[in-house]
A and B are shown apart, each in its own frame.
Chain A
Amino acid sequence: MPAFLTYDFIQRAFLAGVFIAVACAVLGLFLILRKDAMIGHGLAHIAFAGVALGLFLNVLPLVAALAVTVAAAMAIIKLKDRTRLYGDTAIGIFSSLGLAVGILLASMARGFNVELMSYLFGDILAIEPLEVGLAVILAAAVLLAVKMNYAKLLFMTFDRESARAAGVKVGRLDMLLMVLTAVTVVLGMKVVGILLVAALIVIPAAAGLQVAASFRTAVRVSTAVAVVSVGAGLGLSLVLNIPASAAIVIFCFLAFGIFSLLKKGRGSAMRGPG
């Protein structure tokens, strides 16, 4: 084992990173297939308000961000249902509001200090033991909730009307998916930062979708891409002393590129010459 892996803070970063990456990849698949890929981006903006609130009130920012983002996720669903807003409008409204509130709170506190920057750009190597515990437990809870509702979520994502006719409570599942996404976004922001967390949700899942003929395969490939990218990104950041968040996202993108080429190659092979 390389010497740097014996450091506690690095082990903590890998442990939290892997759990969060798996949760991001699995949820990302459902979100992309529901055409809700940008929800991660929107909720990340809202998480920014939560972090700023935490720093303003001197509460653990991760906890404040969790509370604010989950509440906003539920409000987005309610707003969508009650006002019949088109597509991503509700997300657009809440994410802009989140960013505005965040900026306001940050300026009322001490301005954009180092800690706030660490949430914006991610700083997984600085993750505290308490945050690791919280991240691992919450990521495991997200995965357990998905596992328990796997068939229903898949049914609803594939064919919402038939799922309803089969007695699946799609409204409750929409809410569950939003809450799980909110939790995952908040956890992911510690790994890659608010500005890049959507990438961790979207890109590994998009890579898996390039090559998978079944949902199970898509889950496996996406999860592998996310875990390998987090591991490789962290490793590279330690070796080259570059930001881990950027390295992780670039590895995700490289994987997406490789799988896209594989898909293209397969398509050409199936079409045959001429």
Chain B
Amino acid sequence: MDLIVLRDISFRYDGTPVLVDIDLTIREGDFLAIIGPNGSGKTTLVKIALGLLEPSSGSVEAFGKPLREFSDWQKIGYVPQKATHIDPFFPASVEEVVGMALLSNRKPRARSAREGRGEILRALDEVGMADYGNSAIGRLSGGQQQRVFIARALVTSPKILFLDEPTTGVDAETQASFYDMLDRLNSREGLAIVLVTHDIGIVNKHVTSVACLNQRLAYHGSHEDFCQSEVFRDMVSRGDHLILHEH
């Protein structure tokens, strides 16, 4: 099933082209990495897919509906780029942070408070943060905060999860367990995952398909073919600010 379909997407910022003629379809169970150098339009593309930015031309469909008519937002989870815009002193407990998404996406009295709390705790358990429910979000490490934000994205039982550079500034050990968790969610729960990353090491180890952006979609296909492709060789030879390492 097609979850998100981007057709002929172009985006200009103050007259400068950021994305040109992008066609991309994300299907059920996909684990897609969107890679590309800085300024290649990766984050912009994700924001267009989520309706956070309006494309200059082209169309977006979510779950078979034009994005303007789409209202089932609990089916889409989003973890933005490591949240520098989040106030570290914000007085919110971990349960409150996860509950924001759940309670914002329901009609009043659709579930009891106990059911809601159960779902919050399940989501926290899924990301290994069940013991931190009462902790203040600002007191957690960067890696723990990212897990909480993933729990917030998962609490509505989405079918697709977008993650924008989720492990920036997170140590290697935490990164490894983080990606193992994503693998588990993808293979066991069938959750489609779209990951914006600079890290080709991640591409090699975890994802099933790759979309390589540089204003245009330079490559889209399986990650095995990507590793043999001209695009990959070019990117590696240019450096392109990509991280290439073994995990």
Alpha-carbon gap, A166 to B153, bound state (A): 9
- Given A165-B78, A166-B73, A209-B91, answer yes or no on A152-B52 (Cβ-Cβ < 8 Å): no
Q: Which residues of A contact B87 (CB under 8 A)?
A: 33, 158
- Interface of chain A, main secondary structure: helix
- Given A155-B101, A158-B97, A214-B96, answer yes or no on A33-B76 (Cβ-Cβ < 8 Å): no
Alpha-carbon gap, A163 to B134, bound state (A): 22
Whether the Cβ atoms of A161 and B85 lie closer than 8 Å is yes
| Contact among B50, B96, B103 for A216, CB-based, below 8 A | B96
Whether the Cβ atoms of B97 and A161 lie closer than 8 Å is no
Alpha-carbon gap, A156 to B78, bound state (A): 14
B112 CB to closest chain A CB (Å) equals 15
* CB-based nearest A residue for B138: A213
* CB-based nearest A residue for B87: A33
Q: Mark B35-76, 1 if CB is under 8 A from A, else 0.
A: 000000000000000111000000000000000000101101
Q: A96 near B: Cβ within 8 Å?
A: no
Whether the Cβ atoms of A148 and B73 lie closer than 8 Å is no
A218 CB to closest chain B CB (Å) equals 5
Q: Which residues of A contact B50 (CB under 8 A)?
A: 165
A214 CB to closest chain B CB (Å) equals 4
Q: Which residues of B contact A152 (CB under 8 A)?
A: 103-104
Alpha-carbon gap, A212 to B90, bound state (A): 9
Interface centre among A33, A151, A215 (most CB of B within 10 A): A151
Q: Which residues of B contact A159 (CB under 8 A)?
A: 80, 83, 85-86, 100
Alpha-carbon gap, A219 to B136, bound state (A): 15
Alpha-carbon gap, A250 to B110, bound state (A): 44
Whether the Cβ atoms of B96 and A148 lie closer than 8 Å is no
| Contact among B96, B97, B101 for A166, CB-based, below 8 A | B101
Alpha-carbon gap, A212 to B136, bound state (A): 9
Q: Mark A214-234, 1 if CB is under 8 A from B, else 0.
A: 111110000000000000000
A150 CB to closest chain B CB (Å) equals 8
Q: Which residues of A contact B91 (CB under 8 A)?
A: 33, 208-209, 212-215, 217-218
Q: B152 near A: Cβ within 8 Å?
A: yes
A273 CB to closest chain B CB (Å) equals 21
Q: A162 near B: Cβ within 8 Å?
A: yes
Q: Mark B106-141, 1 if CB is under 8 A from A, else 0.
A: 001000000000000000000000000011100100
A210 CB to closest chain B CB (Å) equals 10
Whether the Cβ atoms of B136 and A161 lie closer than 8 Å is no
Whether the Cβ atoms of B92 and A166 lie closer than 8 Å is no
Alpha-carbon gap, A217 to B76, bound state (A): 30
Q: Which residues of A contact B79 (CB under 8 A)?
A: 162
How many A residues have CB within 8 A of the partner chain?
27
Alpha-carbon gap, A163 to B86, bound state (A): 12
CB contacts under 8 Å to B, within A185-244, are: 208-209, 212-218
Q: Which residues of A contact B96 (CB under 8 A)?
A: 154, 214-216
Whether the Cβ atoms of B152 and A162 lie closer than 8 Å is yes
B142 CB to closest chain A CB (Å) equals 15
Whether the Cβ atoms of A168 and B104 lie closer than 8 Å is yes
Q: Which residues of A contact B74 (CB under 8 A)?
A: 166-167
Q: A164 near B: Cβ within 8 Å?
A: yes
* CB-based nearest A residue for B101: A166
Alpha-carbon gap, A33 to B86, bound state (A): 11
Interface centre among B91, B135, B156 (most CB of A within 10 A): B91
Alpha-carbon gap, A209 to B86, bound state (A): 16
Alpha-carbon gap, A92 to B102, bound state (A): 37
Q: Which residues of A contact B102 (CB under 8 A)?
A: 151
Q: Which residues of B contact A161 (CB under 8 A)?
A: 52, 80, 85
Alpha-carbon gap, A13 to B105, bound state (A): 40
Q: Which residues of A contact B156 (CB under 8 A)?
A: 166
Q: B143 near A: Cβ within 8 Å?
A: no
Alpha-carbon gap, A150 to B105, bound state (A): 12
Alpha-carbon gap, A152 to B99, bound state (A): 10
* CB-based nearest A residue for B50: A165
Q: B93 near A: Cβ within 8 Å?
A: yes
* CB-based nearest B residue for A165: B78
Whether the Cβ atoms of A162 and B92 lie closer than 8 Å is no
- Given A166-B73, A217-B91, answer yes or no on A155-B104 (Cβ-Cβ < 8 Å): yes
Spell out B's residues near A (CB within 8 Å).
Answer: 50-52, 71, 73-74, 76, 78-80, 83, 85-87, 90-93, 96-97, 99-105, 108, 134-136, 139, 149, 152, 156, 162
Sample (23) of A-B pairs whose CB atoms are under 8 Å apart? A33-B91, A151-B102, A152-B103, A155-B100, A155-B104, A159-B80, A159-B83, A159-B100, A161-B80, A162-B80, A164-B52, A165-B76, A165-B78, A165-B80, A167-B71, A167-B104, A167-B105, A208-B91, A212-B91, A213-B139, A214-B96, A215-B93, A215-B96
